[in-house]
Chains A and B, each alone.
Chain A
Amino acid sequence: MAVESVSSPSARSGSLRRRALTPYLFILPFGVLFILFFIVPIFYAIYESLFRSQRSGLGLGAATVSFNGLSNYADVIRDPNFYTGIGRVLLYGVVQVPVMPGLALVLALLLDSTVVRFKGFFRLAFFVPYAIPGIIAALLWGYLYDPALGPLVKGFSSLGLGTPDFLGANSVLWSIANIATWAWTGYNMLIIFAALQAIPTEIYESARIDGSSGFHIAWNIKIPLVAPALVLTGIFSIIGTLQLFNEPQVLTTISNNIPTSFTPNLYAYYTAFGNNNYYYAATISVVLALVTFVLSFGFLRVTQRQSGV
């Protein structure tokens, strides 16, 4: 401060001007890539969604592209392939979004409690699935579900529990939910566990001395303090649910019960690359992104009001 007041006014305003530019320069490299690979695609998808391509007569001539207004949106909303897909992932989300972060929370609280030993071992064990790419996890579980290859079906039948069909029309969605739970619980647990570790122990040391049980400390002190981390895992689960793609795509090779419109994302992919209908696929992507945004934003608002995050 003292030095600045001594320096001449012109030099000072120069350094201030440079200072004023600095934050923009720091943001610039990220900003350019962010605009190119996030903002532009969003607007390009919206632009594309306003067109359609048509083949004339027998479909032999070159396709003509014409402006279509909002008709694609009207079609998507009424498209049974789309809305049953949305309905399916919403049903999946109703189970998955509370169950996975909930399980992650319980595991994190136990690892943070005083009653558990071998914490390092457990932490590492829960972390193993995180090191396995989602697509590999899906392959792996696909093999485990496979009656010919995996031990699960044989195990169940040798225990006299019948032969479960993990890939049936009604069960395959929950088999996918199991893969996602297996793959992502450890990651969510780490986010919550890191937040637990950041709580200064003095905060609940006094409660412990007052004789509060571990359960009371967890419920009344720890959970409220890690609420922001819980909200974060909840949002990740919502986003992951709505863009479900890897697991169903992998399981299509061994199950006949996964149509190409099983999830909205799968539908968009096959519409674009199977049917070469990029305009309709862009519309599906935009609607899906909107639904995701509304749901995750709504979740954020509701939880903010509830927990004061």
Chain B
Amino acid sequence: MSQRTASVPIATPREAVASRQRVPRRFNVESLGSMTFLFIFTLYFLIPFFWLIVSATKNAGDLFGTFGLWFAPNFNLGDNLSQLFTYDNSIYLRWLGNTLLYAGVGALLGTFLSAMAGFALAKYQFRGRNLVFSAVLGAILVPTTALALPLYLLMSGVSLTNTYWAVLLPSIVSPFGVYLSRIYAASSVPDELLEAARIDGASEFRAFTIALYLMRPALVTILLFQFVAIWNNYFLPLVMLSDQKLFPITVGLQTWNVTTGGANKFLFTLIITGALVSSIPLLIGCGVLQRFWRGGLGAGSVKG
């Protein structure tokens, strides 16, 4: 096969033309099937979110009385929002702030610590390296919810339960982040570069900051994963916190959900509006970061 193309150099452009001519036919059959498949799943992924948007514009009566997938004549989004933001001394805004604090601080610190540990595991030979890496790998396989109960007892032993620290400190630790940054540091930071920096008199920490610059795409991935993981975390804050002023949105909305029904029927609209509002920062963040992330990963792989 390779010999034929080698002996007839003109074959390649001709084949290229042939394949280009095939494109329209493939577009009709394969493409139509593929597009239909993707479109069906787009509906599957988007309809519940569309229902959320539609429902956030309804009052409690319309929520139960009108067709779920279209807007009611009475557009009530403004009222729902103002009720959401003022109900119970604006507790929802407090939850939003808490969630930002847990996820923002936790993910930033966690990513930095993961990068340091992953860099060390990838770029230094030292005793205990395999042990540390095995422990990190093993930790990925341990369900974090299994840790939450003993962690609660330990935290209550040092009177840290029901504080910001109880959620923030465990959230910083991300074995998966260390694993990812080790892999990316190994593939994207050349040893020669670090050697050159050292010969120029750079400290080890300065060499690390150079590596950080090269690891940027991976760090964005780790940051995004960890931010979303903490933002979405429910079990740990549920176990740790009892004061609702410390709750993140996930735990807060579920406590509302438990008390809905009967006289509290209006809480349905608050939960639905609250769920919609809480998804907006993450949607924007994911949209912005995803662009950077994808391009970054692709670029890194071409060089590697």
A residues lining the B interface (CB < 8 Å): 1, 3-4, 18-20, 22-24, 26-27, 29-31, 33-34, 36-42, 44-45, 48, 103, 106-107, 110-111, 113-117, 121-137, 139-141, 143-144, 148-151, 154, 182, 185-186, 190, 194, 197-200, 208-211, 214, 235, 239, 242-243, 245-246, 249-250, 253, 265, 268-269, 272-273, 278, 281-282, 285-286, 288-289, 292-293, 296-297
Check if B172 sits within 8 Å of A130, measured CB to CB. no
Q: How many angstroms from the CA of A194 to the CA of B225 in the assembled complex? A: 14
The answer to whether the Cβ of B45 comes within 8 Å of any Cβ in the partner chain is: yes
Given A38-B139, A110-B38: A209 touches B12 (CB 8 Å cut-off): yes
* Cα distance, A115 to B299, chains bound together (Å): 23
Nearest-neighbour CB distance to chain B for A203, whole angstroms, equals 12
Q: 1/0 contact trace for B276-304 toward A, CB 8 Å? A: 00110011011100100110011011100
Q: List the 7 shortest-distance A-B pairs measured between CB atoms, nearest first.
A: A151-B68, A198-B301, A26-B120, A23-B124, A45-B150, A131-B282, A30-B117
Pairs across A and B, CB under 8 Å, 10 listed: A30-B173, A48-B153, A116-B35, A125-B45, A127-B290, A135-B232, A198-B298, A211-B19, A243-B146, A285-B147
Q: With a CB–CB cut-off of 8 A, which chain B residues contact A33?
A: 113, 169, 172-173
Known A-B contacts A23-B120, A149-B268, A197-B298; the reply to A38 vs B147 at CB < 8 A is yes
Evaluate whether A239 and B141 lie within 8 angstroms (CB atoms) in the complex, with A117-B35, A194-B294 already known: yes
Contact A253 B154 (CB under 8 A): no
CA distance A141 to B49 in the complex (A): 10
What 0/1 pattern do residues 228 to 269 of B give for CB contact below 8 A with A?
100110110001000000000111011001101000000010
Contact of B149 among A122, A144, A278 (CB under 8 A): A278
Q: Contact flags (1/0) for B73-103 with A, using CB distance below 8 Å?
A: 0000000000000000000000000000000
> With A22-B204, A132-B49, A140-B48 in contact, do A198 and B297 touch (Cβ < 8 Å)?
yes
B67 and A242 contact, CB distance less than 8 A: no
Q: How far in angstroms is the closest Cβ of chain A from B172?
A: 6
The answer to whether A133 and B234 touch (CB under 8 A), given A115-B30, A139-B253, is yes
Q: Is the CB of B301 within 8 A of A110?
A: no
Q: Does B193 contact A (CB under 8 A)?
A: no
Smallest Cβ distance from A180 to chain B, in angstroms?
Answer: 13
Which residues of B pack against A, CB within 8 Å? Answer: 1, 12, 15-16, 19, 23, 26-27, 30-31, 34-35, 37-38, 41-42, 44-46, 48-49, 51-52, 55, 63-64, 67-69, 113-114, 116-117, 119-121, 124, 126, 129, 132, 135-136, 138-147, 149-154, 169-170, 172-173, 175, 178, 199, 204, 208, 221, 228, 231-232, 234-235, 239, 249-251, 253-254, 257-258, 260, 268, 271-272, 275, 278-279, 282-283, 285-287, 290, 293-294, 297-298, 300-302
Q: Do B279 and A131 touch (CB < 8 A)?
A: yes
Asked if B231 and A30 sit within 8 Å, CB to CB, the answer is no
Contact of A125 among B23, B42, B132, B152 (CB under 8 A): B42
Q: How far apart are the CA atoms of A66 and B248 in the complex, in Å? A: 37
Shortest distance in angstroms between B273's beta carbon and chain A's nearest beta carbon? Answer: 12
Question: How far is B116's CA from A26's CA once the two chains are assembled, in angstroms?
Answer: 5
Hey, which chain B residues are within 8 Å of A149, CB to CB? 63-64, 68, 268
Majority SS at the chain B contact face: helix
Which residues of chain B are within 8 angstroms of A289 by Cβ–Cβ distance? 142-143, 146
Contact across chains for B146 and A286 when beta carbons are under 8 A apart: yes
Question: B15 — which chain A residues lie within 8 A by C-beta?
Answer: 209-211
What 6 new A-B contacts, CB under 8 Å, besides A110-B37, A139-B253? Answer: A27-B132, A30-B173, A34-B136, A115-B27, A242-B143, A278-B153
Question: Closest residue of chain A to B177, judged by CB?
Answer: A30
- Tell me, in angstroms, the Cα distance from A282 to B149 when the chains sit together: 7
- Chain A nearest CB: distance from B17 CB in Å? 11
Give the shortest distance, in Å, between A219 (CB) and chain B (any CB): 14
> How far apart are B196's CB and chain A's nearest CB, in angstroms?
11
Closest to A239 in B: B143
Q: A136 to B228: give the CA distance in the assembly, Å.
A: 13
- Cα distance, A210 to B221, chains bound together (Å): 36
Partner of B294, one of A136, A151, A197: A197
How far is the CB of B18 from the nearest CB of chain A, in Å? 8
**B279 pairs with A136, CB closer than 8 A:** yes
Known: A29-B116, A210-B1. A115 touches B150 (CB 8 A): no
Q: Which residues of B contact A107 (CB under 8 A)?
A: 38, 41
